[in-house]
Amino acid sequence: MSWGLNNRLNRVLPGLANGTGSVMFAIDHGYFMGPTSGLENPKDTIVPLLSYGDSLMLARGILQSCIPQDCSLPIVLRVSSGNSILNEDMSNEELCVSTEDAIRLNVSAVAFSIYVGAEYEHQTLVEFSKLINEAHRYGIPVLAVTAVGKQMNRDLRYLSLASRIAAELGADIIKTYYCEDFSRLVNVCHVPVVIAGGKKIPEADALQLAYNAVSDGASGVDMGRNIFQAESPVDMIQAVRSVVVEGVSPKEAYKKYKSALK
Ligand code: R5P
């Protein structure tokens, strides 16, 4: 691994260096969901949260139009797209942002969705591999957003299949979902694994989820809706951070979150 790639990886996941988790803050939902609740006006709602994340995952348009140019947070740029929530099968994604443009945007990593077991599995895996060829030439780490076919459960069997495939193809970071026996998934991937938060759940449950993931070996969270759709996003991202980075118990973090709301 080149020094540049390693350096970028450690900036995206600073917890790797000291054995803690890291908080990636994901706001890329609009690339297939449109004006997602909580992200209607990212300039007003998201910018105040940036100082509490370790890195920011988003799509090109929002980066260019809403994120201040003096932002020092490492950027993880989504480079795959090609479908919307209106499609029944959402796996028809391709590489849509060049590595040249990613470099121009000064990103620290790029993110690409693979869809294992879905209609366009082959296409996404081949495009993903080609992206790795290109991005690694310039020392840019690649994060695999792992999705499984919609008829498959998000359980250990399918999530570890997708995650291991991503690792075998050369991913530098795997993003998947938390599942029962999650540590077994982490053990079959030889690169850092982070979990997505998924749909909005009660804040106490989201904090417990983050805690469980890190306790089971995740290198952190790549969390979106459970932060920006929380009753108080700025307090929630701090609560998530306290659990993931500082090892505060989810109960304690939730207590602090609740008292900050008053
Ligand atoms: C989904 O494909 C997007 O990449 C999101 O960034 C990801 O799911 C994490 O966000 P959330 O915590 O809202 O699931």
| pLDDT tens figures, 39-54 | 999 988 899 999 999 9
Ligand 1: residues with CB < 6 A are 26, 28-29, 57, 145, 196-198, 222-226
pLDDT at 102: 98
Mean pLDDT of the chain: 96
Burial class (CB in 10 A: 0-12, 13-18, 19+), 149: middle
pTM of the predicted structure, to 2 decimals: 0.96
1 SS3 class: coil
> Is there a contact between 110 and 99 (Cβ–Cβ < 8 Å)?
yes
Choice among 130, 150, 175, 255 that is catalytic: 175
CATH entry, 3-261, from 3.20.20.70, 3.30.1490.20, 3.40.50.1000, 2.60.40.1530 = 3.20.20.70
Structure tokens at 17: 């260096």
Residue whose Cα lies nearest atom 7 of ligand 1: it is 196
Ligand 1 mutation target, pool 24, 28, 33, most atoms within 8 A of CB: 28
Residue with the larger pLDDT of the pair 45 and 182: 182
Let me know if 175 is a catalytic residue: yes
pLDDT in tens, 53-89: 999 999 999 999 999 999 999 999 999 999 999 998 8
The backbone torsions φ and ψ at residue 173, rounded to the nearest 5 degrees and listed phi first, read -140, 140
Comparing C-alpha atoms, which of 113, 142, 141 is closest to residue 125? 113
